[in-house]
């Protein structure tokens, strides 16, 4: 009886291990890719917007464009006035629910943005909750032109196990960003590559193994008055263990 039970458990474990890894991808060719997800409004706060555009395209006909055309009032403790122009990708709303981490994310960015001292630009916001008030890990660009993780290992922190200081993010050309992410209170981590070079790595101390929602596109502080970003060829996929470029 014990042997039969052990075989049954081993079979179930094998079936769980053999479950296919899931993937979400978009080339930003049609807004229907984001049906059921939240999209920031056009002319958000009267200073930023988004659309599918043919101006700068890496592949296909369209890319996602987000742009700024005026400053917002400074954010307060109760009001976030950051510029926004993006579709959210709410994985937890898909059939099958949230993705299991670790996940690998790859996407391409074309950025034309002046980042003054004290400002930043955010390429990606990655979350483990299903709330409207997120508790995310961010992939940001500093005012020194360096890609880095933010809110690691927890909100408000910037503690790294590796951080480049000399790989500059180039403006006005297509750049590939890669992210590997694991939400786990004990063993979580995030890694970021720029054109296949590791630029930032940090522990992540939140979550229970699920990746629920994200956004990529325009996210920047209210002080910025102009600038544009294009995103194309985004892929999010579950992986088993760590992967190297």
In tens, the pLDDT along 135-194 reads: 999 999 999 999 999 999 999 999 999 999 999 999 999 999 999 999 999 999 999 999
Q: Which pair of structure tokens corresponds to residue 181? A: 């992410």
Among the listed residues 197, 135, 152, the one whose alpha carbon sits nearest the alpha carbon of residue 170: 197
The helix/strand/coil state of 242 is: coil
Q: What CATH code is assigned to 23-238?
A: 2.60.120.200
- pTM of this prediction? 0.90
Asked if residue 217 lies in contact with residue 82, where contact means CB atoms within 8 angstroms, the answer is no
pLDDT tens per residue across span 132-152: 999 999 999 999 999 999 999
Evaluated on CA atoms 96, 101, 106, 111, the torsion sign reads positive
Domain edges within the chain: 23-238
| Cβ neighbours around 190 below 10 Å, total | 27
Q: Give ∠ CA 202-206-212 in degrees, rounded to 5.
A: 105
Q: Across all residues in the chain, what is the average pLDDT?
A: 92
Residue 5: predicted pLDDT: 47
Which residues share a beta bridge with 67? 49, 228
Query: What is the CA 187 to chain-centroid distance, rounded?
Result: 20
Among the listed residues 166, 164, 179, the one whose alpha carbon sits nearest the alpha carbon of residue 122: 179
Burial of 79 (0-12, 13-18, 19+ CB in 10 A): exposed
- E strand residue ranges, 31-173: 48-53, 63-68, 83-85, 88-90, 99-100, 103-112, 121-127, 137-141, 147-150, 162-163
pLDDT tens per residue across span 41-81: 999 999 999 999 999 999 999 999 999 999 998 877 667 89
């Amino acid at each position: 009886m014990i042997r039969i039970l052990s075989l049954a458990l081993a079979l179930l474990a094998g079936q769980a291990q053999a479950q296919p890894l899931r993937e979400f991808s978009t080339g930003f060719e049609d807004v229907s890719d984001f049906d059921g997800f939240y999209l920031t409004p056009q002319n958000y706060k009267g200073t930023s917007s988004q659309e599918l555009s043919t101006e700068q395209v890496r592949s296909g006909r369209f890319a996602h464009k987000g742009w700024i055309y005026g400053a917002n009032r400074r954010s307060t403790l109760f009001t976030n006035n950051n510029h926004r122009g993006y579709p959210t990708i709410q994985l937890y709303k898909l059939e099958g629910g949230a993705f299991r981490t670790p996940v690998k994310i790859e996407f391409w960015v074309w950025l034309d943005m002046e980042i003054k001292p004290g400002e930043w630009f955010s390429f990606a916001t990655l979350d483990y909750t299903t709330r409207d008030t997120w508790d995310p890990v961010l992939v940001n660009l500093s005012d020194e032109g360096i890609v880095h993780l933010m809110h690691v290992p927890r909100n408000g922190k910037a503690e790294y196990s590796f951080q480049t200081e000399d790989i500059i993010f180039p403006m006005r050309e297509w750049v590939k960003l890669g992210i590997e992410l694991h939400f786990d209170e004990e063993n979580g981590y995030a890694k970021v590559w720029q054109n296949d070079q590791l630029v930032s790595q940090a522990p992540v101390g939140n979550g229970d193994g699920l990746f629920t929602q994200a956004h990529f596109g325009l996210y920047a502080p209210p002080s910025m008055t102009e600038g544009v970003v294009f995103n194309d060829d985004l892929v999010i996929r579950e992986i088993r263990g760590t992967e190297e470029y």
